[in-house]
Amino acid sequence: MFPALSRKVYGKALVYFDNAATVQRPQSVISRWRDITEKSNANIHRAVHLMAEEATEAYEEARECVRGFINAGSKEEIVFTSGATASVNLVAFSFGEAYVREGDEVIVSEAEHHSDIVPWQMMCQRRGAVLKVLPVDDTGHLMVDKLDNLISPKTRIVAVAHISNVLGLVNPVKDIVEKCHSKGVPVLVDGAQGIVHRAVDVRDMDCDFYVFSGHKIFAATGTGVLYGKKKWLDRMPPYMGGGEMVGHVRFSGTTYAPLPLKFEAGTQNFAGVATLKPALETAMMMRGEGSGAAGSCLALRRELVENEAAVRDYLLDKLLNNNRIYLFGVPSVPEEKIPLFSFSVEGAHHEDLALILDKMGIAVRSGQMCAEPLMDRFGVTGMLRASLLAYNTLEEAEYFIASLDRAIKMLV
Amino acid sequence: MEDTEKTLQEAEEEVVDEFSMFDEWLDKYEYLIELGKSLKDYPEADKTEDRLIQGCQSRVWLDYKVQNGRIWFNADSDAIITKGIISLLIKIYSGRTPEEIASSDFSVVDRIGLKENLSPTRANGLVSMIARIREIASENR
């Protein structure tokens, strides 16, 4: 089902534990991309010929799939971008233009990915606003109580991850949204990791913006989603100008297309976007959701969910009970943690460990993981991260632990 | 350095020979780790910004002194395999004259397969280390 997972590296079976960076594509996604490219390669929303109609239909069908997947109220609220980073940049720019003035404040958490920090910093510089930080505690939990004091009458927006790409803990985003809304402050949720591991209902969460990348949820690279409440998107100016996003263009002035096209300037990645449909079907299966027609399919779904929990609990136990290992992001209850483990090993550099594990066939991430402020918070120059998905097995996790032990022995 | 009688080219050949004894990459890493551990102590006070080599994923400091026309290198890194790699370079290039260093094409790193077996970011770090050694040699000619 996932062609890349059956490849060999250095003559060994690949153990792919870098899923938080990107996941492997299922055959259905690869086929979808190839189908569109081979048969329906035409620019969308413009021409009247058959190929253009097919491409447009595939693109808009993906929009409806995304809408349903996150239970948004309307397709107008689903904007396609090139990824979560582009989505945050869009909001930071356009929301900033419309709502942020000199002396205003923006709050982000200490555990954010650079992509949910830098766009806000840039916007604050442009608008003369101030960036404030919601801290995390030693176990990696957001100190949500501190929000009450951080939010002031000048706070314009709060940006926070659904699940941190380093800590792997599910943040209480619904509570955060409620807290912020009680003071009239909108919230952007960075769902790059969250969308993969938790069912998301944006209306229930009541967030104002939710962003994610396609490539982390099985779709083609270069695809991303911005969900935004219509009331905000309507009043935000376009981020980029050009084809597709216009109503009428005169040298005396231009009017803009209605939502969501207002934010989709230029030829879109339509072949990539079309893969979101099979991708989201895969994601639902991995999470044990959706209505599987066949009984065997239901059994497979249940099996995947049970497997993921079992693998998570196994690794949590092994890593927490090794006194050489320091795990960042320790859950209060296992359910709060996704199978993502960032840790450091006493006496062994993360880069050395990753290099040795690579030669053992195991792909993990090492370094700052695009979260330098969080590295500083924990006083480390980097970490080692193993991030799994439901397609990873307990055997792979056992091999990883044995290999990690061997690598540590080589180094210390 | 105890064996400055060896020419730079001979030292290069020796490293290539040593590396060719290992079939497995893990064994090569073991060897680099040993080399890294045996590198002579590097003073904490010399871990300064100006001795830091830019472009490495892990931190690498390279210091040198010039004595009787020869350049003597000392280095350190917080990652041990990187430390092993730089100690390999020191083994070959320390105690040489600037002219000798300038005469080397540094193809030894390609011949032992180091470059293609490192991740691109790491290979860049290796390129940066070599560039710095060359730079020091040319500054002291």
Which domains are assigned to chain B?
A: 8-139 (3.90.1010.10)
Instruction: Report whether the peptide linkage leading into residue A260 is cis, meaning its omega lies within 30 degrees of zero.
Output: yes
- DSSP category for residue A77: G
Q: A358 and B119: CB-CB below 8 Å? A: yes
Say which CATH topology domain A3-26+292-411 has: Aspartate Aminotransferase, domain 1 (3.90.1150)
Q: How many CB atoms sit inside 10 A of residue A326's CB?
A: 17
CA A64 to chain centre: 19
Q: B79 and A367: CB-CB below 8 Å? A: no
Nearest CA in chain B to A367: B57
Nearest CA in chain B to A381: B58
* Residue B116, pLDDT above cutoff 80: no
State the pLDDT confidence band at B117, using cuts at 50, 70 and 90.
low
What pLDDT is stored for residue A289 in this prediction?
Answer: 79
What pLDDT is stored for residue A290 in this prediction?
Answer: 66
* Residue B3, pLDDT above cutoff 80: no
What pLDDT is stored for residue A299 in this prediction?
Answer: 77
- Which of A10, A348, A359 lies at the smallest CB-CB distance from B29? A359
Q: A410 and B59: CB-CB below 8 Å? A: no
**Residue closest to B137 by CA, chosen among B88, B91, B104:** B104
Mean pLDDT across chain B, nearest whole number?
87
State yes or no: is B56 an active-site residue.
Answer: yes
Sort out which chain B residues have CB atoms less than 8 A from A352's CB and list them. 33, 79-82
The CA distance from A78 to A73, in Å, is 10
What pLDDT is stored for residue A296 in this prediction?
Answer: 55
The CA distance from A125 to A327, in Å, is 35
H-state helical runs in chain B: 8-20, 25-38, 80-93, 98-103, 108-111, 120-139
Domain residue ranges of chain A, discontinuous segments joined by +: 3-26+292-411, 28-280
What pLDDT is stored for residue A294 in this prediction?
Answer: 45
Sort out which chain A residues have CB atoms less than 8 A from B58's CB and list them. 349, 351
Q: B79 and A349: CB-CB below 8 Å? A: yes
Correct CATH for A28-280 of 3.40.50.170, 3.20.20.100, 3.40.640.10, 3.40.47.10? 3.40.640.10
- Across chain A, which has 412 residues, the per-10-residue mean pLDDT values are 94 96 97 96 90 95 97 98 98 98 98 98 98 98 97 98 98 98 98 96 98 98 98 97 90 94 95 98 86 60 87 97 97 96 96 94 95 96 96 96 97 93
The answer to whether the predicted template modeling score (pTM) of the entire model surpasses 0.80 is yes
**Signed CA dihedral, B25, A367, A214, A341: sign only:** positive
State the pLDDT confidence band at B119, using cuts at 50, 70 and 90.
low
What pLDDT is stored for residue B121 in this prediction?
Answer: 64
The arrangement of strands across the sheet holding A325-328 comes to A325-328, A340-345, A383-387, A365-367
Q: Closest Cα of chain A to B26: distance in Å?
A: 7
State the pLDDT confidence band at B56, using cuts at 50, 70 and 90.
low
Pairing verdict, β A362-363 and B70-77: unpaired
Q: A381 and B59: CB-CB below 8 Å? A: yes
**A349 and A407 Cβ atoms separated by less than 8 Å:** no
Q: Which ipTM was obtained for this model?
A: 0.84
Nearest CA in chain A to B25: A359
Distances (CA, A) of A147 to A187, A206, A330: 12, 18, 21
